[in-house]
Chain A
Amino acid sequence: MQRGPSGLRGWVIPVLALVLWELWSHAGTFPIDTLSRPSDIAVAGARGFIDGSIPLATWQTVQAALYGLAVAAVLGILFGVILGLSPRLEGVVGPSIDALRPVPSVALIPLALLMFGFGLQMEASVVAFACLWPILLVTIAAVHGVEPRLLDVARVLQMSFAARMFKVILPAALGRINVGLRIAVSISLIVAVTVEIVLNPRGLGYSMIGAQQSLRPDLVYAQLLWLGLLGWGLNAALNKAVSMWPGGVQSYEDVQP
């Protein structure tokens, strides 16, 4: 869905909807307690930014997402390289991984709560579990795709595992691993918000649930809109980063095993 020459058309429906919504909200029959009013939403959003509550909540969410992502990236790339280098080991460990993978990450929220209590750690651990799989699988596939002659050279030079990893494998596979990371970045934000919505009392998700429970639809929609902007911006930035990466692969389909 790229923007064509007629990119302005994309604005027609949203702008029209907003205008009608605002006009309707001044009529008598309007359910103000569920739909709020575009102007109220704008005011609530602006207030949230000025008093610092929305930036703080955003930071808490992003922090948990990044923390979990970092853990998943380190574990996923490390084990991905090990498994990718040894097809035998992959055959032995693979089925156990395949058995764990269909567990919905959100099912682990109560378990994470039991282990870590409320807070950053439990949220990050669920994020890490969710982000681990795409990174792991893409890394395994990426290592399979490394030119075998490079590995032969590394063997002939009798490089240590660390040297092989950092001098040969990672530089050769990073263009593809990148794709797994990109998928994981979008997952991390989604999972972080989900954990907050379900039960973790911090971040944007919790703030939205709080707004809903105190019957502040304007604040709910303002934060929803902000979250949409955040996700959209993140997506756009990632697309750009991937396309700028030398030798990068454009889509996930290219690297699926």
Chain B
Amino acid sequence: MRILRSQWLWALLFAAGLLLVWQVLADQKWISPVFFPSPSRTGAELVRQVAEGQIWAPLGATLQRMFFGWALASLLGVVVGAAIGSSRTARDYLGPLLEFVRPLPASAVIPAAILFLGLSNEMAIAVIAFGAVWPVLLSSAHGFVAIESKLREVAAALCLSRMQLIVKIAIPGALPDILAGARVSLAIALILAVVTEMQASQPGLGQNILLAQRSLRSPELYAGIVSLGIMGFVVNRALLAVERRLLRWRVAPA
């Protein structure tokens, strides 16, 4: 959403206005303070958690779980995607199977994962990796298929081996696709980290908001949701920055 600089002011005013209306409605008890605690109470709770350092342990746990699952998914996704994208045979054998597994809701494998791994952190990471693997896999397969034919000819002329072709031409060429997929994967990884924490009682922000709900501490519940929102935003921005840095060599597309 592109906006003019002067509109930022209006945008900020709009957001502040929304919060103010909420604050007044909650203060006057026109809306239930249990369901919609006023923004100031949520803010105070958030500040308290940060000041007392309570927030860091669950935040770190969620972040770590998300990151490990995502890293595993990225690794698997690039390897399998490269295989499928660069080999017709692999595509024939694996393609239909993957097409069937892909639309499966990742959270639906939780019961099966629990059967194998129990209510453990490994189970959570396996589920996260399963759900987050698809965007990376598909985008890297696409990146490998879409290598320019001229580059293929160059590789053939230079007598590059298959491995050299992959490392020197295919991976750099597919990198923009892979990184775009990795960003989608990261958002999925965060969602699944929260889901596994709620379902399998793993410590983290997801479990915290569920516990806050059970004890009807709604400011804490909102504070948790806000922290998750901020986390999703920051992580996405960070990866975007990494992406720009890694792709500096690329000539801007016309």
Question: Which residues of chain A have a CB within 8 Å of any CB of chain B?
Answer: 1, 3-4, 6-7, 9-14, 33-34, 88, 90-100, 102-111, 113-115, 140, 186, 189-190, 193-194, 197-199, 204-205, 208-209, 211-212, 217, 220-221, 224, 227-228, 231-232, 234-235, 257
Contacts A106-B198, A111-B225 given; indicate if A9 touches B93 (C-beta within 8 A).
yes
- Residue B94, interface by CB 8 Å: yes
Question: Are B195 and A100 interface neighbours, CB within 8 A?
Answer: no
Question: Are B4 and A91 interface neighbours, CB within 8 A?
Answer: yes
Interface residues of B in 1-51 (CB under 8 A from A): 1, 3-4, 7-8, 10-15, 18, 34-35
Residues from chain A with Cβ under 8 Å of B107 in the complex = 190, 193-194, 197-198, 205
Complex alpha-carbon distance, A190 and B110, angstroms: 13
Residues from chain B with Cβ under 8 Å of A113 in the complex = 213
Q: Is chain A's binding surface mostly helix, strand, loop or mixed? A: helix
Question: Are A220 and B111 interface neighbours, CB within 8 A?
Answer: yes
Question: Are B212 and A110 interface neighbours, CB within 8 A?
Answer: yes
Interface residues of B in 167-218 (CB under 8 A from A): 187, 190-191, 194-195, 198-199, 205-206, 209-210, 212-213, 216, 218
A-B CB contact pairs (8 Å), 5 listed: A104-B229, A106-B191, A110-B209, A212-B112, A228-B100
Question: Are A111 and B213 interface neighbours, CB within 8 A?
Answer: yes
- Residue B108, interface by CB 8 Å: yes
Partner of A1, one of B14, B99, B103, B212: B99
Question: Are B105 and A212 interface neighbours, CB within 8 A?
Answer: no
Task: Name the residue among B4, B11, B212 with the largest chain A CB count within 10 angstroms.
Answer: B11
Residues from chain A with Cβ under 8 Å of B206 in the complex = 106-107
Residues from chain A with Cβ under 8 Å of B198 in the complex = 106, 109-110, 198-199
Partner of A228, one of B3, B8, B103, B115: B103
Closest to B113 in A: A212
Smallest CB separation, A40 vs chain B (Å): 14
- Residue B228, interface by CB 8 Å: yes
Partner of B10, one of A10, A92, A106, A234: A92
Partner of B104, one of A88, A100, A197, A224: A224
- Residue B233, interface by CB 8 Å: yes
- Residue B101, interface by CB 8 Å: yes
Question: Are B92 and A227 interface neighbours, CB within 8 A?
Answer: no
- Residue B95, interface by CB 8 Å: yes
Residues from chain A with Cβ under 8 Å of B151 in the complex = none
Smallest CB separation, B170 vs chain A (Å): 18
Complex alpha-carbon distance, A227 and B225, angstroms: 29
Smallest CB separation, A12 vs chain B (Å): 6
Question: Are B216 and A227 interface neighbours, CB within 8 A?
Answer: no
Question: Are A193 and B11 interface neighbours, CB within 8 A?
Answer: no
Complex alpha-carbon distance, A106 and B210, angstroms: 11
Partner of B194, one of A14, A104, A186, A193: A104
Partner of B96, one of A3, A90, A209: A3
- Residue B60, interface by CB 8 Å: no
Question: Are A91 and B110 interface neighbours, CB within 8 A?
Answer: no
Interface residues of B in 211-241 (CB under 8 A from A): 212-213, 216, 218, 221-222, 224-225, 228-230, 232-233, 236
Closest to B214 in A: A110
Interface residues of B in 71-113 (CB under 8 A from A): 84, 88-89, 91-101, 103-112
Residues from chain B with Cβ under 8 Å of A98 in the complex = 1
- Residue B166, interface by CB 8 Å: no
Question: Are A106 and B1 interface neighbours, CB within 8 A?
Answer: no
Task: Name the residue among B108, B116, B141, B224 with the largest chain A CB count within 10 angstroms.
Answer: B108
Question: Are B216 and A114 interface neighbours, CB within 8 A?
Answer: yes
Closest to B145 in A: A1
Contacts A4-B92, A102-B229 given; indicate if A232 touches B3 (C-beta within 8 A).
no
Question: Are B11 and A194 interface neighbours, CB within 8 A?
Answer: no
Question: Are A96 and B7 interface neighbours, CB within 8 A?
Answer: no
